[in-house]
A and B are shown apart, each in its own frame.
Chain A
Amino acid sequence: MSETILVVVEQREGKLNRVSWETLVAGQSLAAEMGWTLEAAVAGNGVSAIAGEVAAKKVSKIHALESPGFSPYTPEGFSAGLKQFISAKQPRLVLMPHTYQVRDFVPKLATAMGRTVISDCIGYRKEGDKLLFTRQMFQGKFAADVSFNCDPPWFVTFQNGAFRGDRVEAGASAAPVESVNVDIPQGTIRNKPQEVFKEAKQAVDLTQAEIIVSVGRGIKEQKHIELAKQLADALGGEIAASRPICDSGWLPMDRQIGSSGQTVAPKLYLALGISGAIQHIVGMKGARSVVAINKDHEAPIFEIADVAVVGNLFDVVPALIEEVKKMKSSA
């Protein structure tokens, strides 16, 4: 019998999380390369519509796992329910997106099954008969190829952006949807989650900004934020920041860029003293041009920069402000 790859797509409040397409692309590409069968699963309470959406893609089968215990989401419900299904099914690989939800339950699920998760991967490679999964180490300064040293099912989660979701292959015809009733016993779930909410209204909408000057911890002190603001003003752009700057209250939260902040796509993203952690990158990688000023030539931000300045921002930025002003006054 052929081995199976199971992609568990993510739904929240009845909606498919689009990042699931990326994981499906990873599954499709692995299935083609390994000659394995690709199936998908979605867990929830009333997921037939989502299962139908996934069935249009190139997969052999969708399992619609239904249980009242899946809604609302809890790590205990998801771990218990998926364990039942995966233990019975015994796929070779279980793939999921590395979302806040997945990282909340998948280590529990794998541990409950006596297995392991290679988390937050950015790709895979086949070497001989070995399957290796690539993940970032030391905040992106290095990459590591990691192998499984245990029996399947092997759990893998993929980082947001690791595969191109828009490249997901459609199926020749709709894949069959199989509904599975999962029994999550009373007493399994101890957590009582409340409604999901958004903190305070956003005063600024950075998604429309054409120029963003973004400051990171390289700015060192609150009083130096002024310097970055002067540059933003000279350029006619908006000021934004990495998370630690907003955590410290040096700029308001609604100016934070990244996975827990805003996602922007300006014409110019000028990063000052930002290291380029993945959680920051996901919020700005859609920028048309990225200019990074950082004193550390190994900073991961340079990997996605179009223009790089390795140097001290306190030297470069004042000179830059002056030059921009000069140019504007002569124009």
Chain B
Amino acid sequence: MKILVCMKQVPPKDAPLKLNEAGTWIREDVSYEVNEPDAFALEEALRQKEKHSGEVVVITAGPARAQQVLREALAKGADRAIHLEDAAFVGLDAFNTAGAFAAAIKDEQFDLIFTGLQSDDCGFAQTGVILAELLGWPHATIIMQIEKTEGGIKVKRELESGYFQFVEMPLPAVLTIQSGINKLRYATLIGIKQAKNKPLRKVALAELGPAITANSQKIERMYVPQKTKKTEYLEGSSAEIAKKLVEKLKDEIRVL
């Protein structure tokens, strides 16, 4: 099986974020890591390859810093990487990002494409599904299990409130992967060493040409959401906080 994994670099969940001057995005001087569901998507691709042999290719769209995500993926066992390198990719909507991926892989023949089910920054939850439509492939979302079958694959879709559903589908197909589908591996020292010699193809924005058009949705402004609830902050030493909280639990919340 030849599998492409689409990955994105995002700020860590507990990173302190600041707005840029224009108030349209965050200030970029933060640390970054791989979008969590994408890490699970990579792990799943590596496991499928271990079972059925084949190739795992990773792709990202982002500025130079995003290469780190690809390097880590190569160190974990991906065979090669594609970097759509341009700072402009950060501002693309899901349609354009999917279009860029589709254009970058037009000469390749994948059996499966994995994406994380959504990103921790924009949270569109759309790129994988749009990519499937652009390629004319079937897709399934929020996947928790993948098995190869005679004619294709059988996947387990997560539904709301603890429900699931198996879906059989032909290949090639696009799957969006849910966090927790597997247990992540760590890169080994030898893996990190080998990664240095693995191929990494860079693609410039200009090469993708007409695949990228004006965004059809635009962030007019970004801001810290207004608090609607009155919250009481407890301060002091841990002992003081504990005392105040217990009083509240007893007298106001009345559960003690």
* B-binding residues in A (CB < 8 A): 75-76, 79, 99-100, 103-105, 107-108, 111-112, 115-120, 130, 132, 135-150, 190-199, 202, 210-211, 235, 243-244, 246-247, 253, 259-263, 267-268, 275, 288-289, 291, 296, 298-299, 302-311, 315-316, 318-320, 322-324, 327-328
Interface centre among A76, A198, A323 (most CB of B within 10 A): A323
13 A-B pairs besides A104-B140, A304-B229 with CB distance below 8 A are: A100-B159, A103-B126, A120-B124, A144-B219, A148-B218, A190-B138, A196-B163, A197-B164, A263-B161, A306-B229, A308-B232, A319-B241, A323-B242
CA–CA, A211 and B256, complex, Å: 10
Per the bound structure, the CA–CA distance linking A132 and B219 in Å amounts to 9
Whole-angstrom distance between the alpha carbons of A307 and B122 in the complex? 29
> Can you list 21 A-B contacts with CB-CB less than 8 angstroms, sorted by A residue number?
A76-B138, A107-B130, A107-B133, A116-B216, A141-B17, A143-B222, A144-B221, A144-B222, A144-B223, A194-B167, A197-B163, A235-B255, A260-B160, A267-B253, A289-B255, A291-B253, A307-B231, A311-B238, A316-B242, A318-B238, A319-B239
Docked-complex contact A140 and B229, CB < 8 angstroms: no
| Contacts A150-B216, A192-B167; A99 near B160 (Cβ below 8 A) | yes
* List of A residues within 8 angstroms of B19 by Cβ: 142
Tell me which residues across on chain B come within 8 A of A309, comparing CB atoms. 233-234, 241, 245
* Contact with A111, one of B133, B225, B228, B232 (Cβ below 8 angstroms): B133
- Nearest Cβ distance between residue B77 and chain A, in whole angstroms? 21
Residue of B nearest to A145 (CB): B220
Distance A305 CA – B233 CA, assembled complex (angstroms): 9
Out of B164, B221, B225, which one reaches A198, CB within 8 Å? Answer: B164
Contact between chains at A298 and B162 (CB < 8 Å): no
Decide: A320 and B246 in contact? CB cutoff 8 A.
Answer: yes
A130 to B132, CA, bound (A): 32
- Complex CA–CA separation, A112 to B98 (angstroms): 13
B216 A302 Cβ-Cβ under 8 A? no
**Contacting pair B124 A119 (CB below 8 A):** yes
The verdict on B125 contacting chain A, using a C-beta distance below 8 Å, is: yes
> A138 contacts B126, CB within 8 Å?
no
With contacts A143-B225, A149-B215, A306-B229 taken as known, whether A289 is within 8 angstroms of B253 at the C-beta atoms is yes
Tell me, yes or no, whether B170 is within 8 Å of chain A by CB.
yes
B13 touches A100 (CB 8 A): no
Residue of B nearest to A256 (CB): B162
Is A146 a contact of B126 with CB atoms below 8 Å?
no
Tell me if B141 counts as interface (CB < 8 A to partner A). Answer: yes
